[in-house]
Structure 1
Amino acid sequence: MYRFLLTPRWWGINLFVVLAIPVCLFAGMWQLGRFEDQVDNHREQQRQAEATGDPRPIADLLPLTTESVGEQAEVTGTYDAAHQLLVPGRRLEDRTGYYVLTPLRPSDGSPALPVVRGWLPGTADADRAPAPPTGEVTVTGALQAPESPSTVDGPTDGLPAGQLGVIGAAALINILPYGITDAWLTVRDAEEPMLAVPAEAPTGTGLDMDAFQNLGYTAEWFVFAAFAVFMWFRLFRREVEQQRDAELGIIPEQPRPSQEGALARSGSPAPPA
C-alpha cells in the first residue's frame, strides 16, 4: 500500500524532509546558544556592576572593554566646577530626577573623566546641585560605558545650557575645552542630599533587542522543522487516501507510468481520468 514512497517524486520529498529537519534544528540550537551566551554575559555584567571589591586604578581599566565595565575604579584629580552639568529625565527608585555630572581632571594629566556625583529628584535645577569638593580628591566608583541616544529615556535634544542628554565623549567634546575620556564614573558614596546612582550593565552586551531576536529566530527554526514534518504527513495521508479511494472505485485508479507506456504501444486508450 505504501509502495508509492519508492517513486522518484517521493524520494525527492523524503530526501528534502530528512535534510531540512536537522538543518532547522541545528540553526535553532545555534541561535539558542547565542541567546544563552548573551544571558550569561548579562549576568556577568550585572555582577560587575554590583561589585564592591577593592577599586583598581582607572589607568588599569582603560581603554574600556566589556570586561572592565562595572569595575570599581579609583582616580585622583580636581573637579572642574565651572563645567558642571545636569542630566535630566533620569529615574531612580520609581522617581524622575537628574544626574549631577562634574568633569574630573586627573592629576597625571590624562583626559578628563565625567563623574556622576549623584542623583536629585525633580526638575533639573543648577541651584540645587551641590558644588563639588575643591582641591585634589580621590574618587571611587563604577566605570560605565558611554550612552547612546536610543537607550536614554530622558530628553536628548533641545536642552538648555548647562544640561546634557547623553553621557559620553561624543556629547561632551563640544562642551568642554579639553580632552575627555569616552567612559564615565558613578560614585559609590554620594554627597548629601544626592543619592548614589547604581551602576548598570552596558547596552549591547546583555539582554538587549539583539538577544531577544536570537530567541525569536530559535523559535522560528523549530517551527520550520515542525512544518516540514507536518507537510510530509499531510502529503502522505493524501496519497494514502487517494489510493484507498481508487481501490474502492470512488475515483479511477491512475495508471502507473509503466502501464501508460504499454497502453501507448498497444494503441489502446488510457482509462478516463
Structure 2
Amino acid sequence: MGSLLLVLVLVTCFVGLSAWQVDRAQHKNDAVDAADVEEIEPFNEVMEAQAPMPGILADQRVSLSGHWLPDNQVVVPGRVLDGDKGYWVVTMFAPDGARLGAPAGADADDKTIAIPVLRGFTTDEQTAMESRAAQGPVEMKAQIGPVEGPKPGNSLPEGQVRTVSTSQLINLFPDLLTYSGFLIPESASGEAASIATDGLEYVPPTTTREEGGFDLQSAGYAIEWLIFAVMALYMWWQLLRDDFVRRRLGSDSDTQDPASPVEYVVVKSAGRSSIDPEVMSGLTGLPAHRHGAKKPRSRRGRSADGADSTNATPTEGN
C-alpha cells in the first residue's frame, strides 16, 4: 500500500506536468501578446545605446525625433521587395535625447549616438550609392528590427555591406556609438524626412515574431509525461505481481529466517534434457504423470476384496 501511495503521487505529478505543457502549447505567445508591441512607445524609454536589445522589443513601434548623418550610410545588396531584387539604403540617424546603457569609455562624450535606419529600396545600384538624406530635423514613427549577423563583404564595392550588423557599422564609423537594433520607418515628417525619397521606394515593416498557434514541442513533452505516468503504474503492477507469485510458490526471501539453512533442490540432472517428473511431483504436489510421466494403468476384473474374479469357481450344491 505504501508503494501504491507513492506511485499515485508520482502519477498525479506527471499528469499535472502534462497539463502544464498542454497549456504552454496553447498559449506559447502570451508573453508576446502581453508586450503589446503595437502600442507606440517613446524610443528613448525602450532603447539604450551600447546595450543588448531584449528579444521582446523586436517589432516594437516607437516614436522619436532627431537628424540624419548623411555621410554615415551603407548600401545592402541582395534584398527583395515585391519580387524585385535590389538594394537597401541604410543611413545612420541621431535621436534626440539618446541614452547610453553601459559605460563606453572616457571618449564617449566625443562620439555621436546613432541608430541605423532603413531609408528605402531600389533596384538600381547607382541610385542606391548616390542617394543621400537631407539635413534638418525629423520626426519619425518606426518599428524596431533585430540586427543581423555580420557576413564578410570583401568582394563588395566600397560602401556596401551584406547585412545590417551594428558590429560592422561601428568599424565603418568609429566616431559613432550605436544600438543593438535598427529602425524600419512607418512614417516621417519634417523638412528632412528623406524616407522613400531621392529615387528610393518605401519598405514596409515586417513582423519577425512567430505567429500564434499550437506549439508542437510542448505537445510532445505533454505526451512524454503521460507515458511516464503509465510506466509508473505498470512498474507497480509488475512488482505486485512478482511479489504475489513468490509468496504463492513459498519462495519469498523476505520471510526466510536468516538463522535457518536454505535448502536447494536440483530438479534437472546434468546431461539430461528434461526435468525428472518424480522430482517435479515432489515439488508441486501433483501426480508425476502431470509432469510428463506415463500414467499408470488400472487393473480390470478385480473384486472389491482384491480377489481375481476370473479364478473364482462357481459353487455347486450337493
Q: TM-score range by the shorter chain?
A: 0.5 to 0.7
- Partner residue, 2:116: 114
What's the offset of the Cα at 1:33?
4.8
- Judging changes above 3 Å, is the alpha-carbon distance between structure 1 residues 266 and 164 closer, same or farther for their aligned structure 2 residues? closer
**Distance in 1 between the 2:217 and 2:169 partners?**
33
Structure 2 CA distance for partners of 1:74 and 1:18, relative to 1, 3 Å: same
Which of residues 170, 177, 180 is equivalent to 1:179? Answer: 177
Task: Give runs of aligned pairs for residues 3-22 of structure 1, distance below 5 A.
Answer: 11-12=2-3, 14-22=4-12
Native 8 Å contact 1:141 1:185 kept in 2: no
Unaligned runs of 5+ in 2: 99-111, 188-194, 266-281, 285-318
What is the CA deviation profile of residues 165-210 of structure 1, one whole-angstrom value per residue up to 9, with x for unaligned ones? 44343232111132223331101145164132314346xxx579xx
1:200 is aligned to 2:207: yes
Per-residue deviation at 1:238?
6.4
Q: Which has the higher helix share?
A: 1
Helix, strand or coil for the counterpart of 1:227? helix
The residue that corresponds to 1:157 in the other structure is 152
Give yes or no for the alignment of 1:254 onto 2:249: yes
Deviation (angstroms), 1:126:
3.6
Equivalent position to 1:217, from 190, 215, 221: 221
SS of alignment partner, residue 163 of structure 1? coil
When residues 272 and 168 of structure 1 are mapped into structure 2, their CA distance, relative to the original with a 3 A threshold, is farther
Q: CA RMSD in A?
A: 4.4
Contact kept? 2:58, 2:208, Cα under 8 Å: no
Instruction: Tell me the CA shift for residue 115 of structure 1.
Output: 0.3
1:28-64 per-residue CA deviation (whole Å, 9 max, x = no partner) reads 344445555641233456x62xx4x7x5543233235
Do the aligned partners of residues 135 and 257 (structure 1) sit closer, same or farther apart at CA in structure 2, a change above 3 Å counting? closer
Task: For residues 141-187 of structure 1, give each alpha carbon's deviation from its aligned partner in whole angstroms, at most 9, with x where no partner exists.
Answer: 324253353xxxxx833452423344343232111132223331101
* Greater RCO, 1 or 2 (C-alpha within 8 Å, sep 6+): 1
> 1:40, 1:126 → 2: CA distance?
43
Q: How many residue pairs align between the two structures?
A: 234
Q: 1:254 to 1:225 in 2, by over 3 A?
A: same
CA separation of 1:215 and 1:191: change in aligned 2, threshold 3 A: same
2:58 paired with 1:61: no
> Which structure has the bigger radius of gyration?
2
1:39 aligns with 2:29: yes
Is residue 91 of structure 2 the alignment partner of residue 102 of structure 1? yes
Contact 1:29 1:218 (8 Å CA) reproduced: yes
Q: Tell me if structure 1 keeps the 8 A contact 2:143–2:186.
A: no
Answer whether contact 1:42 1:201 (CA < 8 A) is retained. Answer: no
State the 4+ residue runs in structure 1 displaced beyond 6 angstroms.
264-271
- Which sections of structure 1, spanning at least 5 residues, go unmatched? 1-5, 150-154, 247-252
Q: Distance in 2 between matches of 1:134 and 1:259?
A: 92
Q: CA–CA distance in 1 between the matches of 2:85 and 2:201?
A: 13
Alpha carbons of structure 1 residues 199 and 141: separation in structure 2 relative to 1, 3 Å: farther
Normalising by structure 2, report the TM-score: 0.55
2:75 corresponds in structure 1 to 86
Alignment counterpart, residue 28 of structure 1, candidates 18, 26, 30: 18
Measured at CA, do residues 59 and 36 of structure 1 come closer, stay the same or move farther in structure 2, by a change above 3 Å? same
Q: Partners in 2 of 1:32 and 1:201 — Cα distance?
A: 25
1:227 deviates by 3.4
Residue aligning to 1:249: none
Q: Distance in 1 between matches of 2:46 and 2:260?
A: 87
Percent identity between the aligned chains? 21
